[in-house]
Structure 1
C-alpha cells in the first residue's frame, strides 16, 4: 500500500509496475503503484492512459520531452498533479525494467530506494520534472519545428517513392464473414479525441449501422462506448483479451514477409483469425481492407494524420498513410476532431418550446373532453377555497 510522509516534500512508498510499453503497462497499473516507463517524448494518448489508472508517481528511464517536437504528455500529467521523475541516463542499464517490476520502492528526497527480489538495495538519484523545465523544452521544440517538419517531409516523400508499387497492388484476398460491400464502415483508432468523436457520431452509428472496425486498442474504445466491434485489425499488441473474445472477426496484420508477432497470442487464446501480410500501419491496412471490400463510405476516428501524430508513434514519416489516403480518395471521411466542430446548446427559448409542446395536448383535452373540463373546474374551486 502506498504511503506519503514529510509535509512539504514528496515521499511515496509503493510497488513498482514497470513495462517497456506504456500502453501495456496501463492494463495492470493501479492508483497505488509507482509507474516505471521507458518512453521518450510521452504523448498525450499515453498520458491519458496513465491518468485513467489514477497513478500519482511516474519514473521515466527516458526524457519526457527530448525537444525534437512539442510532445503533450508531460504537460498533461503535470497539470493533473502527477509527480514526474527521470532517471539519469548514466544509471539506465539493460534489464532494469525487469529487475524493478513488482518490487516495493520509496521515492524520497529525489531518490528511488529499492530492495530488489535478490536482496540488493539500490539508491538511484532522480531528476524531478517540473512545469518550468517542460515549458523551456516546449519553447525550444517549437522554435525548431520547421527543421523537424523539413526532415519529416523529406522522409515521407522518399519512402513514398520507394513504396508506391506495394500499395498499387491489391491486398491478399480474405474470406471474411462480415459483409462490407455497399455498407458504411467506421474505422476506430485509439488516437486523440477518439472518445469525444465516438460520442458525437452516436446518432450516425445508431441510424446507419455501419461495420465497426477497431484497430488494435480501437476495439476496446468501441466497447467502452457501448458498441461491439465487427472486425479487429492489427498486430494485437494493445488490444485486450476481452475485446479479442467479444466475437469480432480478427484480421492479424503481419509484415510483408509473413512475420506476425501477434500470432502466438491468438494461438494461445485459441481464437480463429485471418492472416494479412501487408506494408504500412494497421490503420492503413484497415482502411485499405474496407476499400477493397467495396465499402460505400469509410469514416475514420482517431487516426494519425499530422506530423506530431506520427512522431508520437515513433515514425519519422507518413508515406504509407499518404499513399493509402490518396488511393481511397473521396470514399474516405476523416471524423477526427468532429466533436470540436459543433456542440448542441440548450437555451431558455428551446426549453420554453418544449414546455409548450407538452402542455398543448393537456389543454386540448380540457377544452374537448367535458369530463376533463369538469374535473379541472372542481380542482380550481378547491384550490381557491384552500388558498383564500
Structure 2
C-alpha cells in the first residue's frame, strides 16, 4: 500500500520576517477584493488613508509593501497608523519598480526593509513600525496649514460645478422613501462604524428613523439586523467592494452617483440584478451625496455613523473628495450630528412601565410617611385584626 507523501515545508517559512503570497496592483481599490488572509499587499498608494487601511486590515493582510510613502509629509495621513496598530508588517517607499519586480501570486518574505523573492532580494524600502509612524505623523502635522491653503482653490472650483446641488438641491432624484420631518441615520464604512452602529441600536428601535446605507454601509446595516431604506452608491461597483445583492434588493430606493454626462451603461450591472436605480449626476462623494439627499428631502436630524468628523480625518481623504466633504458639511449645517454625541442627546423614550415604577415608588413613600403619624398608627391598629383573620384563614 502506497501512502501519499507529505509536501515538504517551504524553507522560507523558517527564515525571519513575514511570509505570504504577494498580491500586486498599483490601484489599491482594485486589489482589495482579491486579498485573502495572510497575503502581502503590494501597492502604490501615497498618503494611505484610514478608510483604505481599515479595509486592508479587514482583509487580513500580513504585510503591506508601498511603492510610495505612506506619510509623505503633506499632512498626517492616518492609514499607516491603523496598519501599525493592527500588527501589519509595513515596508514603505519601496519605489515604483517594486510593482513590476514582485510577481503577483508569488511567495515573498519581508525582513529588515527588504522584499525577498524565491531567488533572493527583489526590492528594498524602509521598514515602518508604530514608533516610526508616530514620528512621521508629528512631522507631517507641521505641514497641515500649507495643505489647507492649497485646498481653498479646489473648493472654489467644486462649488462652481455643484452649486445647484449644494445650494438648491437641484438634480436630486425623487425617492419613494419619505424623509420629511423624520430622523435619518446615514451609515458610511468608516472608523469603527460597526461599533458605533451597535451603540445606536436603541435609538433606531425606538425612533424608527430612515436608514441610509452608503456603499458597504448598507451591508453593515444588514449585519446589525436592520434593513436599509435607501442605498447610495457609485456606478462603478468593480473598483471597490461592491454592495451586496441583498442590500440592493432589500432597499426601497437605490441612488447611484454618476459623473455628469455618463451613459446608461454606467448602471447596466445594477439593472441586470433587477435593481432600478435613481440616477444622481454629481462629482460629490457617495457619502456627501447621501447627506445632501437627506437634508434637502426634509430630514429633521441626520445621525452620521462612520463619517469623517475630525480635521485629521477630513485631510486624510483623497484630494478629489476634500472639497466635496468640506462644502457638504457647510450645506448640511446643524442638521448633522455625529453618532458619538447620541448618548448625550438621547436617553431613550419614556415607557408606561417607567411611569408605573415612579407611581409605585411615590405611593410607597407616601404610605411610609403616613404610617409614622398618629393618624397612620390608628389606621394600622384598626387594620391589624382584619389582617390577622386573613392570615389565620390562609395558615393550615
What range describes the TM-score normalised by the shorter chain of this pair? 0.7 to 0.9
Number of the residue aligned with 2:22: 16
1:196 matched to 2:175? The reply is no
CA drift of 1:114 comes to 4.2
Q: Note the 1:66-145 alignment, pairs <5 A.
A: 66-86=72-92, 88-92=94-98, 96=100, 100-107=103-110, 110-114=113-117, 123-145=122-144
1:307–1:317 contact (8 Å) kept in structure 2:
no
| Equivalence for 2:48 | 42
2:321 is equivalent to residue 312 of structure 1: no
Q: CA RMSD in A?
A: 3.8
Q: Are the counterparts in 2 of residues 197 and 338 from structure 1 also a CA contact under 8 Å? A: no
SS of residue matched to 2:65: strand
CA contact (8 A) 1:152 1:317 kept: no
Change beyond 3 A, Cα 1:111–1:205: same
User: Alpha-carbon deviation of 1:214?
Assistant: 0.8
- 1:328-367 matches, cutoff 5 A: 328-330=332-334, 332-338=335-341
Deviates more, 1:205-214 or 1:319-328: 319-328
The 1-side partners of 2:143 and 2:98 are apart by 28
Q: Quick one: structure 1 residues 201 and 18, their matched pair in 2 at CA, closer, same or farther if it must change by over 3 Å?
A: same
Quote the Cα distance in structure 2 between the aligned partners of 1:274 and 1:133. 46
What is the match of residue 14 of structure 2?
Answer: 5
Q: Tell me, in whole angstroms, the C-alpha distance in 2 between the residues paired with 1:161 and 1:172.
A: 15
The counterpart of 1:266, out of the listed 247, 270, 277, is: 270
Instruction: Give ranges in structure 2 of 5+ residues lacking alignment.
Output: 1-8, 348-360, 365-386
SS in 2 for 1:70: coil
C-alpha change, 1:224 and 1:370, in structure 2 (3 Å) is: farther
More deviation, 198-207/238-247: 238-247
Contact 2:18 2:62 in 1 (8 A): no
Q: Distance in 2 between matches of 1:145 and 1:139?
A: 11
Structure 1 Cα separation of the partners of residues 25 and 225 of structure 2? 29
Distance 1:15 1:307, change over 3 A: same
1:33 to 25, 34, 39: 39
Question: 1:155·1:317 contact (CA, 8 Å) conserved in 2?
Answer: no
| Distance change in 2, residues 1:58/1:263 (3 Å) | same
Which structure has the greater CA radius of gyration? 2
| 1:23 shift after superposition | 5.2
SS of the aligned residue for 2:191 comes to: coil
Shift in CA distance, 233/342, structure 1 to aligned 2, threshold 3 Å: closer
Residue 302 of structure 2: which of 294, 298, 303 is its match? 298
Count of residues in correspondence between the two structures: 344
Partners in 2 of 1:153 and 1:66 — Cα distance?
Answer: 20
Matched-pair contact (CA < 8 Å) for 2:187–2:193: yes
Q: Deviations over 1:244-282 (max 9, x none)?
A: 444113111111223588524324544321222124222
Distance in 2, Cα, partners of 1:286 & 1:142 = 30
| Residues 16, 270 of structure 1: alpha-carbon distance in 2 compared, 3 angstrom cutoff | farther
- CA distance, structure 2, for counterparts of residue 311 and residue 253 of structure 1: 23
Q: CA deviation at 1:162?
A: 6.1
Q: Name the structure 2 match of 1:178.
A: 177
Hey, what does 1:247 align to over in structure 2? 250
Q: How far has the Cα of 1:15 moved from its partner?
A: 2.0
| 8 Å CA contact retained: 2:98, 2:123 | no
Residues 228 and 246 in structure 1, CA contact (< 8 A), matched pair in contact too: no
2: CA distance, partners of 1:324 / 1:88: 37
